[in-house]
Copies of this chain bind each other. A is one copy, B any other.
Amino acid sequence: MATTTRRADAQRNIAAILTAAAECLSRNPAASTSEIAKAAGVGRVTLYGHFPSRAELVDAVFVQAIATGEETLGQVDLTGEPRAALARLIESSWQLVDQFRSLLIAAEEALPPGRVRELHADPMARVERLLERGRSEGAFRTDLPTSWLVSIMHNVMHGAASDILAGRISSADAAPYITATLLAAYTPPGERVPD
């Protein structure tokens, strides 16, 4: 019984820490573990018991954000004309990147190089499938590898998140800019860029 209670306490603490970390890192990508422990209503020793380093905590929060995002992206209609489907996917993806942009910066700072991208495996696989279909239907260029086209989307979107944090563009402008840029970048050579 005591073990069950301790396990329930631990799960409650982990949930509280993850929720508090998501909130704190969304306000400030440099939020400290002390700040997060305080917001979660737990001691620092408890926090470090569950997440031995700030990086492990940021990683866990990011994994959770990606999982939340996947639920949203799974509902996007990817059927029909590939360019229109891509525009819908970009719009939804961007809303997520925008919502989590402070957390994204925190993750890029705290996690080893490549880890942020590794955690995007599922959303990137979805983009890849749509690009492959669009390529086979002649809507997207085939002179560059699909994996490169997926990288471009990742880099342009995440670059836009930095542009917003630095005050270079507004959050409202970003979605149309990203869509216009990627639809042009994916147009087959010799074809017209969509208006």
Contact = CB atoms under 8 A, between A and B. Distances in A.
Contact of A192 (B108, B113, B190): B190
A99 interface: no
Given A190-B193, A191-B193, A195-B189, A151 B180 contact: no
A116 to B, nearest CB: 10
A60 interface: no
Nearest to A194: B189
A168 B180 contact: no
B152 A156 contact: yes
A141 interface: yes
Contacts of A182: 185
A166 B148 CA distance: 13
Contact of A159 (B113, B154, B184, B188): B154
Interface in A170-195: 177, 180-182, 184-195
Nearest to A160: B151
A53 interface: no
Given A184-B184, A189-B194, A151 B165 contact: no
A163 interface: yes
Given A29-B113, A184-B193, A189-B193, 15 more contacts: A109-B113, A117-B162, A145-B169, A148-B163, A148-B169, A151-B168, A152-B159, A152-B181, A156-B156, A180-B189, A181-B185, A184-B187, A190-B193, A190-B195, A192-B193
